[in-house]
Amino acid sequence: MTIQILVDMNLSPDWVPCLESHGWKTVHWSTVGDFKAKDQDIMAWAIQNNFVVFTHDLDFGTALALTRAMGPSVFQIRAEDVLLDNLQGIVLAALKQHQEDLALGALVVVDAAKSRVRVLPIS
């Protein structure tokens, strides 16, 4: 199952060519939406267009938990340095490992040491 990835504004557009070179259709929010958009608007766009949200923002996971929503899937990176050079290997490995979970509906939280998966809806 191939997923499509929406890179949130809090992450560099440099992620787009990196993820695309590994086979994932990827867009940066700055190319499809208003940079001042609320998280709910980004989530609605992701659901409507069948994209996984790739973010550094904790609010997406919180919103999924509070609303018990079935989507969108969220791939959340938890690190101080979120630059491509620092996290590329970790992100690529986690996306490959959890691609099926993300396609079916999940919150995947990744840090330098591990990744955790919560199947949606979160209860």
44's tokens = 């609605």
For residue range 3-61, what is the model confidence (pLDDT) as tens digits? 999 999 999 999 999 999 999 999 999 999 999 999 999 999 999 999 999 999 999 99
On whether the 4-119 domain is CATH 3.30.70, my answer is: no
**Residue recorded with tokens 């609303």:** 67
What distance in Å separates the CA atoms of residue 30 and residue 33, rounded to the nearest whole number?
A: 6
The one-letter code for the residue type at 92 is: L
Closest by Cα among 20, 21, 29 to 57: 29
The one-letter code for the residue type at 44 is: A
Percent of the chain exceeding pLDDT 70 equals 99
What distance in Å separates the CA atoms of residue 105 and residue 113, rounded to the nearest whole number?
A: 23
Sign of the C-alpha dihedral computed for residues 30, 33, 39 and 44 taken in this order: negative
Closest by Cα among 75, 97, 78 to 86: 78
99's tokens = 């691609």
